Amino acid sequence: MAASFTLSHFSLSLPNKVPRRRTTTCVSIRAMSETTSSSSETTSSSASTSVTFAAPPNFKPPEPKRFAVRPDKTAEVFGAVLPLLLRFATGVFVSGYSFSFVSKDEIPPNQYALEVSGYKVKETAKLGPRPEKPIEIYEFEGCPFCRKVREIVAILDLDILFYPCPRNGPNFRPKVAQMGGKQQFPYMVDPNTGVSMYESDDIIRYLVDKYGDGSVPITLSLGILTTLTAGLGLLARAGKGSTYTPAKLPPKPLVLWAYEGSPFCKLVREVIVELELPHLLINCARGSPKRQILYEKTGHFQAPFLEDPNTGVEMFESAEIIEYIKATYALQ
């Protein structure tokens, strides 16, 4: 071992065994209030099933290209990097992250690991209790308070069912008002405990108490400075991910393997949010055991990775993912 480093946001207990396979959660989307009559639900369901979802004609998923930026997307990627810099890489590493450089022989070839100058990077983490069901969060990309919550769920390595709430969105903004009494974001619902709440700082505190050790990372505990840096980081994107673009609402949420610190993931989420597409986000920041799961699933790790259960499409590459999502769901 040449060197060893540790980044510790929390002192958490390591699970006894890292799951080798992800438990599949079946989720159906219902944009209406729980108090909606059964006849209205039937009408909505019939209308939804009348819409056909299919990949664009002659569509073929691209080959993954690690660390490659498509020339026409260079400016957008650089703009998406600004939040990462201003937020001091919060959300890039999971809690209790540590790494060391080891010889190639120490890590089996079927195990995910970065390779640097002839060495492999061995990464570990200390994660807290895992919720049985995905936590639900109603938010939108261009909101600094929402970004704070997205950062903590990346650090805690929690899978989140996101319901995008862009301005003028017809589905989930009204639902939040029905559930909580006002349209304020972010809004969290934990189906594992029955807890629901507004206020980003309260949500962060709840999550670290329930799924961490109660310690809020310093970069998320600086009050107005935290919110200010989160807001300034959004300026380069000029409000992207904030306003609704008319789209078809799919019957099943998309599945997106991503994490908050990645500029490539941010660009994809901006479009998903604008189209108001619910999605199960599988957080996979550095140190997440889910990187190995995706590696076993595809023979490769790269984020973002999209799984669309409505069409059967699975693909890497952020620029092509964006084009696919727009072609499949946006109303032209």
* Residue 262, domain CATH: 3.40.30.10
Percent helix, strand and coil across the chain, each to the nearest 5? 35, 20, 50
**Residue among 147, 319, 167 at smallest CA distance from 233:** 147
d(CA 233, CA 207): 24
Q: Output the pLDDT for position 52.
A: 81
d(CA 315, CA 321): 7
Output the CA torsion sign for 312, 315, 321, 327.
negative
Give SS3 for 122: strand
Give SS3 for 52: coil
Mean pLDDT by 10 residues, the chain (332 residues): 42 37 49 36 40 90 92 95 95 97 93 92 96 98 97 98 98 98 98 98 98 96 96 92 97 98 97 98 98 97 98 98 97 82
Distance of CA 137 to the CA centre of its chain: 11
Extract the tokens encoding 317.
């590459």
Q: Is residue 27 part of a domain?
A: no
Report how many domains make up the chain.
1
Q: Output the pLDDT for position 40.
A: 33
Q: Is residue 23 part of a domain?
A: no
- The pTM (predicted TM-score) of the whole model is 0.87
316 is in which domain, residue-wise? 3-13+63-329
Strand 195-197: give its sheet, edge to edge: 195-197, 187-190, 135-139, 160-164, 279-283, 254-258, 305-308, 313-315
Q: Output the pLDDT for position 64.
A: 95
190 CB burial (10 A radius; 0-12, 13-18, 19+) = buried
First to last CA, the chain: 56
Q: Output the pLDDT for position 41.
A: 36
Q: Is residue 42 part of a domain?
A: no
Q: Is residue 45 part of a domain?
A: no
Q: Is residue 91 part of a domain?
A: yes
Pinpoint the alpha helices (H) of the chain: 38-49, 74-86, 144-155, 172-180, 200-211, 224-232, 263-274, 290-298, 318-329
CB distance 277 to 245 below 8 Å: no
Q: Is residue 273 part of a domain?
A: yes
CA-only gyration radius of the chain, Å: 20
